[in-house]
Amino acid sequence: MSRGESPSQLDASASGSTGRKPKRNWWRRWGEETFTAYLFLLPSFLVFAAFTFFPVIFSLVICFYRWNLPRQPVYIGLDNFKWLFTDPIDAPVFRQSVFNSFYYSLGGIPLNMAIALLLALFLNRQLRGVELFRTAYFLPTITSTVAVSVVWMWIYHPADYGLLNSLLLKLGLSLQSWLRDPHLAMPALIAMGVWKGMGYNVIIFLAGLQNIPSRLYEAAEIDGAGAWTKFWKITWPLLGPTTFYILVIAVINSLKAFAQMHVMTQGGPLGRTTTIVYYLYQQGFETFRMGKASAVAAVLFALLLVLTFIQFKVVGSRVHYD
């Protein structure tokens, strides 16, 4: 060390001679990385806030108001909810919509899941052209519900050139008004919904099947287990998490069904296909009673929350993830 040079000057000259830069503080580096991450997330967050978060909060607020457009909103407390359950005219319609929603869910979900599981078991085999079948089954899922509804309206057309009625004529049976008959309209919509949503469940079931180790089936075959024993003792228990996920999502989606009812039946005949969401649409966008429509939305939200909680407690507690 030469005369007149301090130790700090020597350290600076040494670091410069070796070409190494002094390390930045870890908190500064973390702050820069965090800021960059939030900057990339900002566009998605703004879209979510503008079209999901704030509308939901606004809807929960105006359900306590009487807001019949174009009039100004007036605070009425819980009167909108009392109207839903006690009004002599509208309450029976709302109860019918709740019944129709559960009818649609209970009629479609078991059938959808059963067929999807059977198709997934078939597609899980090493077959020639199996990728083509997987794509074909998934195509209805990514197709617009409105477009699918228009196609199925032709299938259900009451005239003799409707696909189903033409088949009935060839079999010597009478024509049916599928979407105009109060007893046939909802089953017709259930059949269309099963076909539309089945492809998604097939792909999810297929992913679950391919995640099951093959050594378990090999060990079962060595022990002399048949196809049914392997399915019941290996496949079905290990598909528990997959099945539970499909069940929860299917219940939510079925209770939110709207597009096919709006396009194919407009809630008829005699209100037999008016679901909760379609009834919400009628209140909000046909009669412009926004407060009452928001009350219907709040009830639907609470119903979905309770049903999901029950599923997690009753079904989810029996699912093994190991």
- Does residue 314 share a domain with residue 239? yes
Rg (CA), the chain: 29
- Of 5, 33, 52, the residue at which a domain comes to its end is 52
Domain count, the chain: 2
Determine the pLDDT at residue 322.
64
* pTM, rounded to two decimals: 0.85
In a domain, 257, yes or no: yes
- Does residue 48 share a domain with residue 129? no
In a domain, 13, yes or no: no
In a domain, 73, yes or no: no
State the average pLDDT over residues 138-154: 93
The tokens for 113 are 């899941």
Asked if pLDDT for residue 27 goes beyond 90, the answer is no
Q: Is 190 exposed, middle or buried (0-12, 13-18, 19+ CB in 10 A)?
A: buried
- Does residue 166 share a domain with residue 39? no
Q: Is 245 exposed, middle or buried (0-12, 13-18, 19+ CB in 10 A)?
A: middle
Determine the pLDDT at residue 10.
47
- Does residue 195 share a domain with residue 105? yes
- Does residue 35 share a domain with residue 99? no
Q: Convert the pLDDT of each residue in 220-252 to its tens digit.
A: 998 888 889 999 999 999 999 999 999 999 999
In a domain, 40, yes or no: yes
Asked if pLDDT for residue 131 goes beyond 60, the answer is yes
- Does residue 109 share a domain with residue 152? yes
- In sequence order, the 6+-apart residues with CB closer than 8 A to the CB of 154 are 162, 163
Q: Convert the pLDDT of each residue in 70-123 to its tens digit.
A: 999 999 999 999 999 999 999 999 999 999 999 999 999 999 999 999 999 988
In a domain, 60, yes or no: no
CB 289 within 8 A of CB 304: no
Q: Convert the pLDDT of each residue in 172-215 to its tens digit.
A: 899 999 999 999 999 999 999 999 999 999 999 999 999 999 89
- Does residue 33 share a domain with residue 112? no
Mean pLDDT of the chain: 89
Q: Which DSSP category does 159 fall into? A: S
Q: Is 125 exposed, middle or buried (0-12, 13-18, 19+ CB in 10 A)?
A: exposed
Alpha helices for the chain (secondary structure H): 7-18, 26-48, 54-62, 79-86, 90-123, 130-142, 145-155, 163-170, 185-210, 214-222, 227-230, 236-238, 240-255, 259-264, 276-285, 290-314
Determine the pLDDT at residue 319.
84
- Does residue 127 share a domain with residue 240? yes
CB 280 within 8 A of CB 224: no
The tokens for 283 are 């209140």
Closest CA to 190 of 109, 97, 304: 109
Q: Convert the pLDDT of each residue in 245-270 to its tens digit.
A: 999 999 999 999 999 999 999 998 99
Q: Domain range spanning residue 34?
A: 22-52
* Position 20 confidence tier, pLDDT thresholds 50, 70, 90: low
State the average pLDDT over residues 1-16: 49
Instruction: Supply the CATH number for residue 181's domain.
Output: 1.10.3720.10
- Distance between CA 73 and CA 71 in Å, rounded? 7
When comparing pLDDT for 117 and 134, which is higher? 117
In a domain, 123, yes or no: yes
- Does residue 168 share a domain with residue 93? yes
- Distance between CA 263 and CA 156 in Å, rounded? 13
* Position 24 confidence tier, pLDDT thresholds 50, 70, 90: low
Which range among 36-40, 128-132, 133-137, 268-272 shows the weakest confidence by mean pLDDT?
128-132
In a domain, 111, yes or no: yes
- Does residue 155 share a domain with residue 37? no
- Does residue 39 share a domain with residue 151? no
State the average pLDDT over residues 18-34: 65
In a domain, 252, yes or no: yes
- Does residue 207 share a domain with residue 287? yes
